[in-house]
Amino acid sequence: MPRFAANLSFLFKEYPLLERFAEAKACGFTAVEVLFPYDEPASEVAQRMADLGLDMVLINVPPPNYTGGQRGFAAVPELEERFRRDFKRALRYAQFLGAQHMHIMAGKAKGEAAHETYTRNLAWAAKEAPELSLTIEPINGQDMPGYFLDDFDLAVEVLDAVNAPNLGLQFDAYHAQIITGDALAAWTRYAPYVRHIQIAGAPERHEPVQGLIDYPEFFRRVDESGYTGWISAEYMPKARTKDGLDWFNDFRAR
């Protein structure tokens, strides 16, 4: 049976971030992820989670957030120094929160120099944080034009090249559907590399109940694969978050 976490950067946005933890707990979630929590003191976030008995599944690198900034630097040749500086800051934050995974964003870049920079930075990061699970995530070019890691085969190529035990694939079924046209087939092919899953309906990225992805079948295949990690709900609710949680409540009832 899947274990679901709430992505608080997408869900419960009716509330300020620090209030979303309690809302997620009240709805039955026992784990959360926050893409960019850096605007809040780590001590305050950690206290909220401790008070509510929540686990932090994942945060993103780099800090602070998307607002007015680039979506990662790991593959950008001229920003290698900044990537490493920001990674160290994010690592301290992740360790304080007890995050299980840290997603390293590649940024906008193309070409051989970007590929070499990306591979080199990931190898460095894996050695810098040997006790933490690090992930890379293919993101579709419609949502993020110019993003370096926009293909699953490229992700596997990079993972094989780095060959670090603490670096794996973050499988977002929504992005997999947009990139490959068949999220279920993509799961079957790339599951051995996966250490974290995210879900949303496709193509509109709403609740995982309608659209192009057969989620009951997807969850069945995930269970059959032996995956035991979290599946994070990372979608844009059509209305208030609570009003669209029937899919989650149905699984809890089982």
Q: How confident is the model at residue 254, as a pLDDT?
A: 75
Give residue for tokens 């995930």: 222
- Show me where the domains of the chain are located: 3-253
Q: Residue 87 — φ and ψ, nearest 5°?
A: -60, -45
Rounded mean pLDDT, 214-227: 96
Instruction: Judge whether 179 and 203 are in contact, CB under 8 Å.
Output: no
Q: What is the pLDDT of residues 108-155, one digit of tens each?
A: 999 999 999 999 999 999 999 999 999 999 999 999 999 999 999 999
Q: How confident is the model at residue 2, as a pLDDT?
A: 86
Q: How confident is the model at residue 70 (pLDDT cuts 50, 70, 90)?
A: confident
Rounded mean pLDDT, 72-92: 95
- Predicted confidence (pLDDT) at residue 199 exceeds the cutoff of 90: yes
CA–CA separation, 160 and 148 (whole Å) = 17
Q: How confident is the model at residue 173 (pLDDT cuts 50, 70, 90)?
A: very high
Q: How confident is the model at residue 64 (pLDDT cuts 50, 70, 90)?
A: low
Query: What's the CATH class of domain 3-253?
Result: alpha beta
Q: How confident is the model at residue 65 (pLDDT cuts 50, 70, 90)?
A: low
Structure tokens at 54: 């929540």
Q: Which helix (DSSP H) or strand (DSSP E) does residue 48 occupy?
A: helix 42-52
On average, the pLDDT of the chain sits at 95
- Predicted confidence (pLDDT) at residue 196 exceeds the cutoff of 70: yes
Q: How confident is the model at residue 198, as a pLDDT?
A: 98
Could you tell me which residues come within 8 angstroms of residue 170 by beta carbon, excluding any fewer than 6 positions away? 58, 101, 103, 135, 136, 137, 194, 195, 196, 197, 198
Q: What positions carry a catalytic annotation?
A: 137, 234
Q: How confident is the model at residue 253, as a pLDDT?
A: 80
Q: How confident is the model at residue 210 (pLDDT cuts 50, 70, 90)?
A: confident
Q: How confident is the model at residue 251 (pLDDT cuts 50, 70, 90)?
A: confident
Q: How confident is the model at residue 62, as a pLDDT?
A: 86
Query: Which amino acid is located at 128 in the chain?
Result: E
Q: How confident is the model at residue 170, as a pLDDT?
A: 98
Q: How confident is the model at residue 69 (pLDDT cuts 50, 70, 90)?
A: low
Q: How confident is the model at residue 102 (pLDDT cuts 50, 70, 90)?
A: very high
In this prediction the pTM is: 0.96
Rounded mean pLDDT, 85-114: 96
Rounded mean pLDDT, 53-63: 94
CA-nearest of 8, 98, 103, 105 to 56 is: 98
CA neighbours within 13 Å on the CB side: how many for 58? Answer: 31
